[in-house]
Amino acid sequence: MDDSKKPDNTPDSAVEFKVYLSHDRTEVLLDCSNPYSNIDTVVIDIIKNLEALELPEIPPAETLRELILKSAEPDENLKGWAFLCGTKAVQPVHGTIQWTRQFFEEGWVIDKDTDAIDFREKVSKCSVRRNELLARRAEAMDGSPGVDVFGNPVPVDKAEKATLRCGKGVSEVLQDNLASYYSELDGRVSFKDNTVNVDEVFAVHGNIDLKSGNIYHTGSLTVDGDVREGCKVEVDGDIIVKGLMEPSDVKCGGDLTVAGGIIGDDEHRIEVGGKVEAKYIRDAHVSAGGNVIVVAQISHSVVRSLGYVLVPKGRIIGKTITSMQGIRVETAGGPSGTKTLLVVGIDYTLQDQIDLYLEKISHMEALLAPVEAALKNTEKSKEEKTPAQAIVIENLSEKQMRIGQSIAMEYLQVEKLKLSHPVSSNPYVVMLKEVWSGTAFDLSGFKTLIKRSIDKPRIAVLKETRARVMPLGDSNMPPDEI
């Protein structure tokens, strides 16, 4: 545009105003302070500005005057008033993918209170459930070009599509302009080359350590290396570790197989819904819903099983081994009278439940003690009680009664639990080679202790409500084959 023809926004009137184009040139806009104060002069000045813009069509002065008066009230200013319009362009709607949660976000969890970074806990959570909604994809929608106030087209960009393909373990549901993606199984979601997959088996090609972060998975897990110290692993299915397992917290819904050994400590726990198989278990706390099968040795560990504990070619030495069904081991105990307790015929989950009740009872007994002490002090006094003191004594007596009743009810629940978990009538421990002094047996609550080592095969069984250790032979064999 020729500079000589630019709008002149300095009117002859005292009214301040400005005529300008919108950024897309589809509107002519007006800012004007109180146009009623000198409307005729304002209209003339606006038309001059419109002529300078070289618009193809300019409204007559009377039409412009009428539009201004209809759009403004007396003493009112106009701001950004569009009085000439072309056709606005309709912008395209680009396709989008919205994940339902942070499956693939990078980074580590930060403690909200301390701002400390937990380098074992990743922000991303890739474990999903069957029929879980993973993502939604909205289709792209094309826009339409507009026309500016000079009659020129206003172009728009082409709508960009969002691409998401169904891979293994994922299904797509289409509805209107939206596609939803669901997991077909419990597993681990991944996204690569615009394709979303859910794998039931999650394979760690290396160690579980700071690099991998803690593992949470709804399917099964295989680890080519080790589970390093301090890690946390929670898996609904089976776990196979091709290396060894250092002190770590593990929850496994299926079977746990460790090609190397399991090393633990008093701070970490391994809880398995199925069976456990390992080369050895050392200094660990292991609970299993199935059998515990060990090649070499269980040493200084707390191992609990609802199945059998089997170490047929190795040793059990130190701490406590509990089995619901039975124990078979080559050698029980060790030199120097190492204390080793072998418990058979008891459901270890029962004791866990009982411990919760006992904890509640202990808390209530702590509340009861000062009440009883206060009542005892009042009984020592032979002085006649005032009405206020009598009320205090009555309240203390009532509180003592309530707490005492609650404690009695908790003990009753403990007895009900014991009745609902009957102990085994045929508990046994088979020692295929020898048993050392310091080894003790608890068979369904009946106990015995080995005071002198025996270097011959033995079996511990119940005989006439007594736990006895007897020679292993044709007449003394386990009641059931393991």
Quick one: pLDDT at residue 422?
Answer: 66
In angstroms, the CA 469 to CA 448 distance is: 8
Give 172-178 contacts, CB < 8 A, sequence gap 24+. Answer: 177/138, 177/139, 177/141, 178/136, 178/137, 178/138, 178/139
Whether the CB-CB separation of 171 and 182 falls below 8 Å is answered with yes
Helix 348-380 to helix 387-420 angle (10° resolution) is 160
User: Six-digit token pair at 301?
Assistant: 């560990």
Q: What is the Cα–Cα distance from 321 to 423, expressed in whole angstroms?
A: 16
DSSP 149-215: TTS-EE--PPPPPP--EE-TTEEEEEETTEEEEEESSSEEEEEETTEEEEESEEEESS-BSTTT--E
pLDDT, averaged in runs of 10, over the chain (482 residues):
49 70 93 86 90 90 89 86 92 93 82 79 84 93 94 93 92 88 92 90 92 90 95 93 96 94 96 95 96 95 95 94 94 91 91 89 93 83 78 89 93 86 80 95 92 94 88 73 52
Q: Which residue in this structure is represented by tokens 């890690």?
A: 231
Length of the chain: 482
CA–CA distance, 407 with 357 (Å, rounded to integer): 10
Q: Output the pLDDT for position 353.
A: 87
Domain 291-347+423-482 has CATH 2.160.20.70: yes
Contact of 198 with 179, CB cutoff 8 Å: no
Q: Which of 268, 239, 243, 269 is nearest to 254 (CA)?
A: 239
482, amino acid identity? I
pLDDT at 463: 86
- CA 237 – CA 201 distance, rounded (Å): 9
pLDDT (0 to 100) of residue 5: 46
> Residue 132: which residues within 8 A CB-CB, separation 6 or more?
100, 182, 183
Question: Which backbone phi and psi does 260 adopt, to 5 degrees?
Answer: -90, -155
Task: Say if CB 120 and CB 232 are below 8 A apart.
Answer: yes
Q: Which has the closest alpha carbon to 417: 346, 471, 467, 334? A: 346
Other CB atoms within 10 Å distance of the CB of residue 124: 14
3-state DSSP call for residue 405? helix
Can you give the pLDDT at residue 4? Answer: 45
Give the gyration radius of the chain's Cα atoms: 41
pLDDT digits 0-9 by tens, 340-372: 999 999 888 888 888 899 999 999 999 999 998
Token output for 41: 């002069």
Q: Residue 423: its pLDDT value, please?
A: 67
243-295, pLDDT tens digit by residue? 999 999 999 999 999 999 999 999 999 999 999 999 999 999 999 999 999 99
What pLDDT is stored for residue 407 in this prediction? 93
- The DSSP line for 20-68 is EE-TTSSEEEEEES-GGGGHHHHHHHHHHHHHHHT-S----HHHHHHHH
Partnered with residue 87 across adjacent β-strands are: 147
DSSP state at residue 274: S
Q: What confidence score (pLDDT) does residue 473 get?
A: 78
* CA dihedral over 53, 54, 59, 61, signed as positive or negative: positive
The reported pTM is 0.67
